Structures are given as C-alpha cells and as structure tokens.
Amino acid sequence: MGKEIILEVKNLTKRYGKKTAVNNISFKLSGGDIFGFIGPNGAGKTTTIKCIGGLLEYDGGDVLINGKSNKGFDQALKRSLGYVPDTPFLYDKLTGREFLYFVGRLYGMDKKSLEKKIDEYSKKLEFSDYMDIRSEEYSHGMKQRIIIASSFIHSPDIFLIDEPMVGLDPKSSKIVKDLFKEFSFSNRILFISTHTLSLAEEICNKIGIMDKGNLVYFGSIDNLKESLKKSNLEELFLEITKNDN
C-alpha cells in the first residue's frame, strides 16, 4: 500500500442544453478524507458525482484520479471507484446475494474473499435475513443496504455515494454512519452527497457547498463556522444559500 490516493476536480463544467448544471468547480481530496457534499435540490451534486464516476460526459475541465484523467475508459480506474447512485438499481429477479456475487465477480474478486466480504457486510448491515429472496420484494431501504454493501465488498479507493441516508430507518442510518466513520482511519476517500446535515457535521472532515452549479464553499466545517460566526451547519447552509427563493 502506502501510495496516496488523490482525487482532483479541475474547472469541471457540465451543461444540459443551454442550462449550466455545474459551473467551473475545482477541489482536491486525498486519502482519509470524508467529504460531505451538500446543497439545495438541483444544485448540481448528482451531476458532479456522475462526472467524477465517469458516467457523464462533461463540457469543460477535468477529473484526475491519482493524476490520471477519467475521460477515457480505464479498467483499473473503474476498479478503484465504488459508486452508489441516488436511485438504487438492482435486478428484480435476482436475490441480494446473487447481485453481490455478480458485482464481486465483475470487480475480479475470487470466490473465497468474496464470500468472506458478503458474510461480513451482511452482518454489519443486517441483511442476512432477506438476502436470499428476490429483490423485487425488497423495500427501498432494503435495496439501499444491498447497494451500499455492493460498493463496499470490492474495497475501492474512492467511494462516491449519492444520498446514502434516503429511506434508511434510524437504526440502519446509525449502522451506515459507523461504517463511514471507519474511513477516517483508512487512506481512502469517501465522497458523500447528502441532505442529512447532521451526518455531514458528525463524520465529515471536509465539506463542499453547492448552489446553482457553483461550489460556494470548500473546506473544513470549523473554518466555515468561525468565519461566519454560526454554530451549526444548518444555519450555515441557510445563510450561504439564502439568495434562493
């Protein structure tokens, strides 16, 4: 190991037709960072995450992962990323376990370590009860847990997670939160877009605030609090984005 993981977003711009969804944003994260990406609805969070994940073509700028642009297809680069979309996708007719097998196989894991990981995460995220029934019978939160596990089992270097807390009951959010916390001790990057400000406040060492396609703040929460003289993130958030109607 030992090598440092760096994610650098440089002047990223993405337009949909005439609308600019992400406007020239830049930031840099490195191993051990837990990054909370917040902002009002339609601010451009999902769009940014997709551009970083190589799932959307962008119009300007670049995304560098360990110094390498993600523009072309690169299998090693894909392996180093774990992506959890905002709307969970599972194959209806497959069981949770089968889906996890499939994902593990695609990421080149061998059977033994795959089984070990599935075992580990089914206990951590408490889905062993239902992982052998077809996912067409799952609730939203059940799907969400399987999807989160699917990105954890192949232990990528960079996790991109869009709205992880949606649909999770209090207990599962706690479990997921604890899972995330372990990251600060690793040299990997966790990138979470979320509306749950308490989550960002509690576990993130860095935050970014998006508003109308612009990255209006990037840095640690403490610095922000100090400069604006507010005590919690919610007030900060409302202060920064107050020009919206």
Partner 1 sequence: MITDLFSLKSKIVLRYLIIKDFKTLIRILTFFFVISIFLFGTYFVFFKVFNYLLNLEDIGKGFIYRISSLLFTIIFFLLFTSSIITSISTFFKTPELEFLFSTPLKTHHIFFSKLFENGFYASWASLIISLPLIFSISNVFKVETIFLIKWLFLFILMVFISTSFGILVVFLISDLFKRFSLNFIVTLIFVLLIFFFVFFFIFVKPDIFNLPQNATLQEVTKYLNSLEVEQFKYLPSGIVLQIIFNDINAKSSNLLYFFLSFYLFLTFSFLFVLIRIYRKKYLGFSLFNLSSKKERSKIFEKRVFSKNLEIFLIVKDMVIFFRDPSQWGQSLIFVILLFIYSFSIIRSPIYFKTPFYTYILSFANLGFSSYIMATLSVRFIYPLISLEGKTFSIIKSSIRMENYFNSKLIFNFLIILFLGEFLIVLTNIFLKMDLLIIMLSSLITFIFSFGITIINTGFGAILPDFNETNPSKIASGFGGIVSAIVSLIYIGISISILSTPVKNYFEKSFRKIPFNFSEFYYAIIFITLLTFFIFVIIYNYALIRLKRYNF
Ligand X SMILES: Nc1ncnc2c1ncn2[C@@H]1O[C@H](COP(=O)(O)OP(=O)(O)OP(=O)(O)O)[C@@H](O)[C@H]1O
**Three-class SS of 51-69:** HHCCCCCCCEEEEEECCEE
Interacting stretch for Mg ion, rule CB under 5 A, among 44-52, 88-96, 183-191, 215-223? 44-52
46 touches Mg ion (CB under 5 A): yes
Of 5, 69, 34, the residue nearest 181 (C-alpha): 34
With CB cut-offs between 5 and 8 Å by kind, which of Mg ion, partner 1, ligand X, none does residue 83 bind? partner 1
* Contact characters 85-114, Mg ion, x per CB under 5 A: -x----------------------------
Of 10, 12, 8, the residue nearest 60 (C-alpha): 12
Tell me the chain's radius of gyration from C-alpha atoms: 18
Cβ proximity to Mg ion, 114 vs 165, nearer residue: 165
103 touches partner 1 (CB under 8 A): yes
Q: Are strands 189-193 and 158-162 parallel, antiparallel or unpaired?
A: parallel
Kindly state the DSSP code that residue 3 receives in the 8-state scheme: P
Interacting stretch for partner 1, rule CB under 8 A, among 33-41, 102-110, 121-129, 213-221? 102-110
Cβ proximity to partner 1, 131 vs 221, nearer residue: 131
Distance CA 78, CA 83 (A): 10
User: Which of 62, 64, 69, 94 touches partner 1 (CB under 8 A)?
Assistant: 94
Which residue is listed with tokens 């089992």? 153
User: Which of 11, 26, 28, 91 touches partner 1 (CB under 8 A)?
Assistant: 91
Instruction: Please list the alpha-helical segments (H only) found in the chain.
Output: 45-52, 75-79, 96-106, 111-124, 140-153, 170-181, 197-203, 221-228, 233-240
Closest contact distance (angstroms) between CB of 7 and partner 1 is 16
Distance CA 159, CA 113 (A): 20
Closest contact distance (angstroms) between CB of 39 and ligand X is 6
User: Which residues in the 42-71 window bind ligand X by CB under 6 A?
Assistant: 42-47
**Number of shown-chain residues binding partner 1 (CB under 8 A):** 29
55 touches partner 1 (CB under 8 A): yes
- Residues near Mg ion, by CB under 5 A: 46, 86
